[in-house]
Amino acid sequence: MRRTLSASLLSAALLLSPPSAVLAETVTLPAPDTTGGLPLMQALAQRKTIRNLSKEPLDQATLGSLLWAAWGQNRPDGRRTAPSARNRQALKLYVNKADGLWLYDAAGHRLERIAAKPLGDPLDDAAVVLIFAVPEDDPYGGMHIGSVYQNVGLFCASAGLGNVVKASTARDASRFAFLPDGWRALATQSVGKPR
């Protein structure tokens, strides 16, 4: 009887849940390689914008290290690779790639699916396009994005990848209709092997 009741409650919960909850898909990323890479001064010496990027997908290990470098947790208390005002961590990092649109969950070091298909032109000029979203009324939002894109730029220099930050891609807010109310994208960053 108890099992029947539990099964009924589960069925009811599934019926009442929004479709996104039922269909939620997550992909756990490989742990970042925190021992490799170029020495910091060499990475700084090589950081630069590269606009001509391949769409060849990045392997999961590289993607895991890239996202961790960008905005991952680097301490047991949940603080991140980039600083944030009062440690509010008010930045959402979305990942647009051939297999869809994803949100990076730093606590789980995993991707949560937002959409089955990627956003198209002009956000399809590279293997991965990072989308940086911040609260509309946060005076520190641009600073937080800058910290994260510099982390990415240094990781790319270290890993032999190209990258370009673009604010022009964020001019059309309708492109980012998937964002929660009160959030806006200020910039994107395309990442891929240099062509």
* Interface residues toward ligand FMN, by CB under 6 A: 48-49, 51, 164-168, 187
Which residue's C-beta sits nearest to ligand FMN? 168
- DSSP one-letter code for 1: -
Minimal distance in Å, beta carbon 145 to ligand FMN?
A: 8
Closer CB to ligand FMN, 111 or 190, in the complex: 190
Closer CB to ligand FMN, 63 or 154, in the complex: 154
Closer CB to ligand FMN, 44 or 90, in the complex: 44
Helix 60-71 vs helix 141-159: crossing angle, to nearest 10: 140
Minimal distance in Å, beta carbon 169 to ligand FMN?
A: 6
Element (H, E) at 184: strand 183-192
Q: Is the peptide bond before 30 cis (omega within 30 degrees of 0)?
A: no
Minimal distance in Å, beta carbon 21 to ligand FMN?
A: 35
Closer CB to ligand FMN, 48 or 195, in the complex: 48
User: Scanning the structure block, which residue is given the tokens 């949100």?
Assistant: 103
Minimal distance in Å, beta carbon 189 to ligand FMN?
A: 9
User: Scanning the structure block, which residue is given the tokens 């997550």?
Assistant: 26
Amino acid at 118: P
Minimal distance in Å, beta carbon 68 to ligand FMN?
A: 22
Closer CB to ligand FMN, 55 or 166, in the complex: 166
CA 71 from centroid of its chain's CA atoms? 8
DSSP string, 71-126: H-B-STT--BSS--GGG----EEEEEETTEEEEEETTTTEEEEEESS---TTTTSS
